Structure 1
Amino acid sequence: MANSDSKIVIVGAGSGGGAVLARTLSSKLPTAKITLINPLPYSVSRPALPRMTVSDQNDLSETALIPFDKLFPKPNGSFVQGLVETIRPGDKGGVVVLADGQEVSYDILVLAPGSIWEGPLDFPADKDSVKAFLGETRARFAKAQKIVLAGGGAVGIEFSGEIKDIWPEKEVTIVHGDTLLMSAQYPDRFRKGFEKRLRDRGISVILNDFVDEFPAPGPTTVKTRNGHSIDADLVISTRGPRPNTAFVGRSLGADTLDERGQIKVTKTLQLLNHPNIFAMGDAINTAENKQIMRSLAHGGILATNVAAMLSGKALKPYNGSMDVIMITNGKTGGMAYIGILWGIIFGDWFTRLIKSKSLLVPMTRSSLGLK
């Protein structure tokens, strides 16, 4: 496959995935045509969303929704706003079809569709709906006095810290379906450490239980699956996401997805029966925690492999990457885990220095070409 004038299409502009890859390929392959497709005309810096959606006491809606004005360092890149409905693969390349009927042809396709979230992280794909969505979500948090968060992973923990930062007097309860917060892929001392931090802030934690119903905002009593009764006037889903891959299975066949809806990929991050289609990020079935740093690692391998494919060279395998997670506890605290040696855990000072204060927004903007 010739490098010159080759068409590379990237579907999905997550700030830790597709958008960074598009920028990298623009520099790396100056004679190729790079097209990035995304429903919104900006990349959403997802680490900022808990703070952004809880309150307007920050400038995040101005800085964490990152436009593509400076994304492409070379004139070979273009952005198309739209929602991909269908992929039509061919013998050499193929076409992606958008919801408005527009067709974009490719020689190499990279899928970075991300995830579908619930609750206040269910960010609208329609730009005109974003302002109303933020206003309504913030108003619900401001009005509520007793808030139940269904899910005690990173999302639930970070929401609880943001709420307590602004309204220390509000009652916040996390209901989580495991014996400890977060998932069992992390060490117990990390999980227990966060539970102590939350309880010290007056946040209630109910473990080994589930919330199955999400009533409309207003005074109510939440009945958990195991019989707990919790007074609440706002019940929010902070559960983990599901892969945004329905269009992939619909287009390329159900066998392209695993039982969880994740895209099956080879060690080189290619789809099993479609060698000129790659995938990356949260939506792929690599056996690892889904983290921004992992998506960036996928992008690094894909930048190499796309260039190798165009020049007829051998592709490199993705052999995994270091497990790194930082979870905030409001603006001044949190915990971090780095999966090296015996597993290193850092507390408030480290997490505040790296993430809690800025939520990585300046770093993310820089990675997409903006200050």
Structure 2
Amino acid sequence: MSKVVIVGAGTGGGSAVARALSTKLPSAKITLINPLPYAISRPTLPRMTVSAQNDLFDTALVPYDKLFPSPNGTFVQGVVETIRPGTKGGAVVLADGKELPYDVLVLAPGSTWEGPLDFPVDPAAVKDFVSESRGRFKKAQKIVLVGGGAVGVEYAGEIKDEWPNKEVTIVHGDSALLNSTYPDRFRKGLEKSIGARGIKIVLNDFVDEIPAPGPASVKTRKGAAIDADLVVRSFFGSLKAPRPNTAFVVRSLGADVVDERNQIKVKPTLQLLNHPDIFALGDAVNIAEQKQVMKAMAHAGVAVGNIIAHVSGKPLKPYKGSTEMIVITNGKNGGKAYMGFLWGITLGDWFVRMVKSKTLLVPMTRGAMGY
């Protein structure tokens, strides 16, 4: 019986691979490893960590107890400390010393975040972490969001939904919100819709030091002073992506398995360059595209087919990339969307409200996890 071990259990990546392989590779033993006993539906986090006026804490943290449709799947709660590759297959070693052998290893470790998205890996600390974040947002009257990517924009909308009279400022180091992956007309339209809610936007500038909560005059890199009593870091690693959670991979396999951004280098088949028994997907791989749940889902589909082919000794297929698209909420009732096909389609409040802003994809996420 082949042993497939999957490290990282995000809703669009590792969990999707584990669930699909449980059905499509019934002869294999599937083991899914994650530090927390549930998957976090990350699109919910700007709303969950801003306000208690919703049930997201109860619905957006989805346990793994219904993930596997077949009895060949097992969930293991733990943190991977080391990978020990062999001539064929290998083993992973958890922080508690437990060793799990594999014939095929799948790395879907996700990203390292900061600020209100930096969830603790200790389950006992998660509820307090969320409550403390909500308390800081509630107490603050002047809030500065450092970074005008999707995270910063969505936080701004959620804050204004809950407290319309609070001062919210986004400081962004580019000439328009988001980044150059998206056309200027879409970025400027997003700026206009956010600005219409009274959110101030400072472009082409940076905040290099994040002060502790409390009254402060925040200095930007260009010397502007912004009054604030809460400054939130809402960009991570770069303007385009958070930092990949790959320290354990480098520690185990060497620095040459990652690029200059610590993203895992993969072949088009999603295999590591010198480790054909190891696949990687999601935020942590060095594919030149935006890091999104939708991309991880596309990776997962290719990885599943290639793992089955690898085990069977058949040819593998390449991942050919995904169309760039983004759906950004502006609170519970609107937002902007861009679809990068045809001439580039831009959609507004009604579409975003229908597909994302009201539910934040929670029903879809729970359904994909077996609920």
1:191 offset after TM fit, Å? 0.5
Alignment of 1:152-191 (within 5 A): 152-191=148-187
CA distance in 2, matches of 1:102, 1:192: 52
1:138 aligns with 2:139: no
The structural deviation recorded for 1:332 is: 0.3
Of residues 87, 101, 106, the one that matches 1:110 is 106
Deviations 1:154-198 (A, max 9, x none): 000000000000000000000000000001111001100110011
> In percent, how many aligned pairs have the same letter?
69
Unaligned runs of 5+ residues in structure 1 are none
1:296 aligned onto 2:265: no
Distance 1:342 1:165 in 2: 33
Task: Tell me what 1:269 maps to.
Answer: 270
Q: Match of 2:165, as an amino acid?
A: E
CA positional deviation for 1:269: 0.4
CA distance in 1, matches of 2:322, 2:144: 35
Q: What is the number of residues matched between the two proteins?
A: 366
Aligned amino acid, residue 295 of structure 1: A
The 3-state SS of whatever aligns with 2:22 is: helix
In 1, Cα distance between the equivalents of 2:254 and 2:350? 48
- Cα shift readout 1:227-256 (whole Å, capped 9, x = no counterpart): 110000000000131000011111001000
1:293-319, Cα deviation, whole Å (9 max, x unpaired)? 111000000110000011110000001
SS at match of 2:328: strand
Distance, in Å, in 2 between the alignment partners of 1:351 and 1:125 is: 31
Matches within 5 A, 1:207-218: 207-218=203-214
Match of 1:196 among 167, 192, 198: 192
* Structure 2 portions without partners, runs of 5+: 237-241
In structure 1, the partner of 2:245 is 244
Cα distance in 2 for partners of 1:66, 1:211 equals 35
Structure 2 counterpart of 1:16, one-letter code: G
Give 2:63's match in structure 1, choosing from 64, 67, 72. Answer: 67
Spell out the pairing of 1:317-332 with structure 2 (5 A cutoff): 317-332=318-333
Structure 2 counterpart SS, 1:195: helix
Deviation at 1:144, TM superposition (A): 0.1
1:312 partnered with 2:313: yes
TM-score norm. by structure 1 comes to: 0.98
**In structure 2, the residue corresponding to 1:104 is in which secondary structure?**
strand
Separation of aligned partners in 2, 1:64 and 1:235: 26
Residue of structure 2 equivalent to 1:260: 261
Deviations 1:110-161 (A, max 9, x none): 0000000111001111101101101110000000000000000000000000
Partner of 2:49: helix, strand, or coil?
A: helix
Q: How does 1:13-28 map to 2 (within 5 A)?
A: 13-28=9-24
Length-normalised TM-score, structure 2:
0.98
- Output the CA distance in 1 between the equivalents of 2:111 and 2:12: 13
Secondary structure at the aligned position of 1:54 is classed as: coil
